[in-house]
């Protein structure tokens, strides 16, 4: 037998709140946030934007992926105050004028999900990688680039199919836009 004491972190939380100015899904926002508030929790709890999901809070599962300045990032690994002056896009900002983004449309058609909980993160990573010239266009490159987004339902095959079909329709759209211009 031995006596043991267990306590956790002793770090002090700074008191009060801080003002955060940032652009969320195209809208300028000003908020008072706790200094230890994480972007993910501010989105879900303070702003009521539940589309960005919490799966681990440790940057291990990808469910909370959002775009910060156009880059895919784990919202659980950023303090909200780090977003000062930045542009943040969440899944709620993907559809435009009530029309699904091509990635959303292809996720629907390819049944690229089951429970739907990792899906916003999958789509935010997918939209980022489709704009990322460093990521190859073959299936293996897409799988590698998407491997930070876990889908425990295991809908990976359909997710990759949806991403590749989105690539086709996005490039078609881009060509058409250029042609129209």
Partner 1 sequence: MNDMTQPKVVGQRTPRIDGEFKLTGRAGYTGELHVDGMLYGYPVPSTIANGKLESLELDEARAMPGVVDIFHHGHFETLHRSPNSMAHGDMVNEVRLPFEDERIYYHGQYVALVVAETFEQARAAAQRVVARYTRMSGAAPGLLQTDAEGELQESAGTSRGDPQAAFGGAEVKVDSTYQIAAESHLQMEMHATLAEWHDDGQRLVVHESTQGVFFQRNAMARVFGLAQENLEVISHYIGSGFGNKLFMWPHAVATTVAARMTGRPVKVVLPRQQDMSSGGNRPASRQRIRLGADRSGKLTSVIHDSTTETSLVHQYVDGCGSATPSFYACDNVSTSQRVLEVNHGTPCPMRAPGEVSGIFALETAMDELAVELDMDPVELRRKNNAELDPASGLPWSSKHLDECLTSAAERFGWAQRNPAVGSMRDGDEIIGYGMAACTWSAGRQPCEARVELRADGTLFAACGTQDIGTGTYTIVAQAVAELTGAELSRIEVKLGETSLPAGPLSGGSMATATVLPAVAAAVRDALDAIKEAAIGSGGAFEGSDADSLFADAGCLTDGNRRVSFEEVLETSKLSSVNGHGSAAPGNEQNEYAFRSFGAHFVEVRIDPDISRVRVARVVSSIDIGRAINPPTARNQVEGGIVMGVGMGLLEKLDYDPRDARLINANVADYIVPTHADAPEIDVELLDYPDFKHNEFGGRGVGEIGLTGVAPAIANAIYHATGKRYRDLPITIEDLLAAD
Interface positions with partner 1 (CB under 8 A): 1-9, 13, 15, 34, 36-37, 41, 44-45, 48-58, 60-61, 63, 90-92, 94-95, 100, 104, 107-109, 111, 113-120, 123, 142-144, 146-160
* Beta carbon of residue 73, minimum distance to partner 1 (angstroms, whole number): 17
Q: Kindly provide the b/e burial profile for residues 142-159, where b requires at least 16 CB atoms within 10 angstroms of the residue's own CB.
A: beebbeebbbeeebbebb
Cβ distance to partner 1 smaller for residue 153 or 174 = 153
* Beta carbon of residue 77, minimum distance to partner 1 (angstroms, whole number): 13
Long-range contacts, stretch 100-106, CB < 8 angstroms, 24+ apart = 101/127, 102/166, 102/169, 102/170, 102/173, 103/127, 103/130, 103/162, 103/163, 103/166, 105/166, 105/169, 106/161, 106/162, 106/163, 106/165, 106/166, 106/169
Cβ distance to partner 1 smaller for residue 61 or 68 = 61
Cβ distance to partner 1 smaller for residue 1 or 180 = 1
Cβ distance to partner 1 smaller for residue 169 or 175 = 169
């Amino acid at each position: 037998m031995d006596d043991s004491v267990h306590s956790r972190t002793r770090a002090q939380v700074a008191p009060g709140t801080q003002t955060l100015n940032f652009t969320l899904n195209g809208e300028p926002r000003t908020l008072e946030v706790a200094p230890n508030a994480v972007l993910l929790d501010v989105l879900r709890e303070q702003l009521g934007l539940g589309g960005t999901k919490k799966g681990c809070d440790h940057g291990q599962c990808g469910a909370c992926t959002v775009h910060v300045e156009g880059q895919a990032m784990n919202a659980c690994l950023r303090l909200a105050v780090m977003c000062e002056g930045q542009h943040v896009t969440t899944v709620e900002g993907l559809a435009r004028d009530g029309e699904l983004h091509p990635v959303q449309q292809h996720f629907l058609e390819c049944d690229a999900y089951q429970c739907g909980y990792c899906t916003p993160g999958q789509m935010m990573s997918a939209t980022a990688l489709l704009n990322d010239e460093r990521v190859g266009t073959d299936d293996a490159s897409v799988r590698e680039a998407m491997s930070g987004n876990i889908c425990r339902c295991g809908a990976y095959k359909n997710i990759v199919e949806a991403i590749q079909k989105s690539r086709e329709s996005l490039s078609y759209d881009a060509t058409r836009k250029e042609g129209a211009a």
